Amino acid sequence: MASHGKRAIAAPAALAGLLLAACSAERVPRADRFDSTGELIAMSGAGAGATGACFTCHGLDGRGDGAGVPRLAGLPPGYLQSQLQAYADGRRRHPEMGWIASRLTPTQRLLVAQHYAAMPLGTLPSAGSPPAIYARGDPNRGIPSCVSCHGLDAEAVSPAVPPLAGQPAGYLAEQIDRWRTSQRRNDPDGVMLRISRALTEREIAALELYWARADRARRGSVEESRGARRSGPRSDASAPQRRAAAPGSSGPRP
């Protein structure tokens, strides 16, 4: 009788233990709580952490910060995924992006690429008539026209080619320099390496002016999204910083 009584007491105790364990398990955060969707990865940074969250620079709308950070919204998902891989393996050199991309798994890179690719972009402003080097290239120097790959409207002719429309002029100019100096080495057959090194300074200046015209037209929409971004080590890096006013001063110091 005594043994039966002990078993009777032990059964409810064991059941209570299982219930407590189940409750405790529910309270333990799941390891994948920040990376189950591309949106969560963009907002949380997943393995890169909050300081590596995509939206801190690229904005909630994926249009970038308007200076040196590119727009991601509406870019082909395969292209975005391949660029993240290039950052991760060093073919695109960038300290912050290299570290962030390397902290994401291949699945996470795919998910976040799909997230930004699906973002609506709307109608992009026109930059007007392109310079000759963009429209026709220079066959005598082996320079194909930019139109042949990036399209007359700069929206690209293939999902493997990045659209240039809607990108900050400063970012595009920087990429030419990165191609020329081999800081970016993920172009098929070294096409952009050859083109960037064949361009003259005057031709590069003409391209920058062309991109800047479109850039000025798009900045209004970028400014509207600034309030939705929080400050971070990768946000507005080129903007002058303002220090808080000292006690008794009339205002912030430049």
The pLDDT assigned to 248 comes to 43
The domain locations on the chain are: 38-117, 132-226
Average pLDDT, the chain: 79
Average pLDDT on 29-42 reads: 73
Domain 132-226: CATH superfamily is Cytochrome c-like domain (1.10.760.10)
Average pLDDT on 228-248 reads: 41
Residues 53-73: pLDDT tens digits?
999 999 999 998 777 899 999
Average pLDDT on 97-108 reads: 96
Tokens of 56: 């801190």
**DSSP reduced 3-state for 125:** coil
Give CA–CA dist 154/151, Å, rounded. 5
Give CA–CA dist 125/221, Å, rounded. 11
Rounded to two decimals, what is the model's pTM?
0.72
Residues 194-235: pLDDT tens digits?
999 999 999 999 999 998 887 776 665 445 544 444 444 444
Average pLDDT on 153-157 reads: 86
Nearest to residue 108, comparing CAs of 30, 186, 64, 48? 48
For 38-117, CATH gives 1.10.760.10
**Residue that wins the pLDDT comparison between 12 and 127:** 127
